[in-house]
Structure 1
Amino acid sequence: MSQTLQRIDETREALIGALAERNWEAVGELDLGCRAVIDEALSEAPEDEDALREKLESLLAVYQQLLEVTTGERQAIFEEMSQINRAQSASKVYHLFG
């Protein structure tokens, strides 16, 4: 089980790094790897339930951070697209009367 706990830590650290770099492709790949590690951890009989719980809670905190950042990124993209749409509308009006 200690190797599984170590893999959870490694995955968590890699997710933190990918999130800091806003490397969404790496985040997606790490998410898939993370799911496999968690499935492995939950399928084994835990040697140390407290350690496993601690590792999974720290991983959950990273996912909460990831959710906050992606929500912010999505909002920023929405606002940028809204500005583009308003600019295009204004351009059409200008060409109609210009």
Structure 2
Amino acid sequence: MGAALKRIEETREALVDALAERDWEAIGKLDLACRACVDEVIRETTDDEPELRSNLEELLGVYRQLIETAVGERQAIVDEMSQIQRAKSAAKVYHLFG
């Protein structure tokens, strides 16, 4: 059990680092690795439930940060695309009357 918990902890720390860098490719790979680790931990019997609970709660916190950041990034892209569309529309009007 210790090895799986250690991998979850290491993956969680790597996710935090990747999030800080906004490295979405690394986050995707780490997410898959994290899912595999969690699946492994769930299949095994646990002798140290408090440590497992703590580790998974910390991981959940990282995923909350990931979701919050991803939603913010997505909204920033939507806002930027809206500005581009407005600029295109303004350019068309300018060319019509210019």
Q: CA RMSD in A?
A: 0.4
Per the alignment, residue 41 of structure 1 pairs with: 41
Alignment of 1:21-32 (within 5 A): 21-32=21-32
Structure 2: gaps (5+ residues): none
TM-score when scaled to structure 2? 0.99
Residue 51 of structure 1: how far off its partner (Å): 0.7
For residues 76-98 of structure 1, the C-alpha deviation after alignment (integer angstroms, 9 at most, x for no partner) is 00000000000000000000011
Alignment of 1:44-55 (within 5 A): 44-55=44-55
Per the alignment, residue 57 of structure 2 pairs with: 57
Count how many residue pairs are aligned between Structure 1 and Structure 2. 98
1:47 and 1:12 mapped to 2: Cα distance?
A: 21
1:9 and 1:79 mapped to 2: Cα distance?
A: 36
Per the alignment, residue 95 of structure 2 pairs with: 95
2:40 and 2:47 mapped to 1: Cα distance?
A: 13
TM-score when scaled to structure 1? 0.99
Structure 1: gaps (5+ residues): none
Q: Secondary structure at the match of 1:47?
A: coil
Residue identity in the other structure for 2:30 = L
Q: List 4+ stretches of structure 1 deviating above 4 A.
A: none
Residue 47 of structure 1: how far off its partner (Å): 1.3
1:60 and 1:77 mapped to 2: Cα distance?
A: 26
2:50 and 2:13 mapped to 1: Cα distance?
A: 20
Identity over aligned pairs, percent? 64
1:41 and 1:4 mapped to 2: Cα distance?
A: 6
1:4 and 1:19 mapped to 2: Cα distance?
A: 22
1:96 and 1:21 mapped to 2: Cα distance?
A: 44
